[in-house]
Structure 1
Amino acid sequence: MGPSGGQSQLLIPLSLMLLHVQPGTGLERISYVPQLSSAALAGKLTQSTFTLEQPLGQFNHPNISDLDLIWLVVALSNATQNFIAPQKTEDIPAPASFPQSGYYLTLRANRYLYPTTQPGKQLHILRVGNDTHCHPNSSGCNYPLPGPGPYRVKFLVTRGGRPIAETEWSHETRLPQVGAGGTRLQRHTAILPSAAQALPAAPRPRSPGTVVIIAILSILLAILLTALLILLIYTCFDSCRNASISRPGEPVSTGRYNTHHMCGRPAAGGS
């Protein structure tokens, strides 16, 4: 019985290796490590998002069907050891639970979205934290990430809400933040009270008498400007009315006159 017992003990880990099942969880282990996109993209890492490569062809396993759901698990690096795969759909953590649990599920897909071959010259990326319109309490919401991290991700395959397979955890991803500029901002904020004390005192409000005088002067100035405008208009109108302007084609009559050297000579035989 000793040799047979030893053989059975050797067969157990061997069968686990053949089935790619993670001991203690019953999940199929897919030997794939999610990674950041290698494309030269603008905004590949922002203060609330990062961009992954699509896991093309990684779920073509016989026990994974086209109807199974593929989730992206987003977790803080120090919370990966505490991750527990949900056992039913109602237990799938949303981004709103991230501050408490340290992880949530997002970017729900099927394996037909990650085929082995894709048309060339297309970007196959997943942008984590790119949806500002979904509610963080909704399942699968791809809500912006709340801080610099570091974050680690992996893909989880579920069927009927129960997990059946998962990939490896990715390496740590840290998001860029304000950094030194934020430190300078905090310093400026800290000295704001003393700077405010150094500012000169604001001018006191004017007395009611001063306000009345200013209002009267403003009204008089407006009346004067109105009178000048009326006088200008009247003068222009009067001068234009008195000026005689001949219209085009209007006949002009002139008086006939003779000059002294154009008078006719006296008739012949006159005295």
Structure 2
Amino acid sequence: MIERIIDKRTHDLGGGLTVGRVLPFHARRMVGPFVFFDHMGPVDFAPGIPRSLDVRPHPHIGLSTVTYLYDGALTHRDSLGFHQEIRPGEVNWMVAGSGITHSERLEYARAHGAHMHGIQAWVALPVEDEETDPAFYHHEGTDLPMWDEGGIRGRLIAGAAEGMKAAVKVHSPLFYMHWEMQADAARTLPSEYKERAVYVAAGTVEVAGQKLVAGQMAVLQPGLAVPTLALEAATVMALGGEPIGERFMLWNFVSSSKDRLEQAAEDWRQQRMKLPDGDDQEFIPLPDK
């Protein structure tokens, strides 16, 4: 039932902020349209943390970013003019399309201190939508279907699953769910999508009889309903969708075309991409190859 288990790898975002990177993995680049999956924290920040820990302005093309927090808060600003605080249980869904820049600042933590814990994922856009106009959406409350049963409190973050549908605008068939599981709670993930994965953000679970600890993702075989049992209280993300074809990545850019990646990189080098409104005094330079 499990095709592969992927362990998160420590990755430095620059400025001292580290994350656990799960996707892309050398032997498994994507799960459905999910092409990137970073686990931030859990980490405690004291008031007065330096601005070097912030994710400074940077660009994207060819994807949608989805920021989801369990704890803490982030301040989003982008080149479309949106300024949005994101808090636990809310969704920031940013469509990069033909090009957008944004920053995610730790302003709440800097002022008050915070326990930070969350996931940043990227969803690759279908070929026909890779150059769509950029857009930004914030969702909370009834936009994101919730349920509470059998010791599990769940939320559908995006897409459609099990007869539910989130209000987030997606461009291809997918699902993305958050489960808070009490010890001994069990749930079966249906086989309605070709590619699926289960990620353990906290605690310990058993997936198809195999033990997974925090920081591990189980990529599931297609066509089978897969049981998940919480061996202790656990935070679990279930995700996947229909495959959309091969994608190439260059830094923060995703595309079906390598030439398009090089064009985006040159646009950033030459400072041809507008920086976020209200946050245009610094940016992350393109890394050396």
- Interval of TM-score (by shorter of Structure 1 and Structure 2): under 0.3
TM-score (norm. length: structure 2): 0.19
Larger helix proportion, structure 1 or 2?
Answer: 1
TM-score (norm. length: structure 1): 0.20
- The structure that has the greater radius of gyration is 1
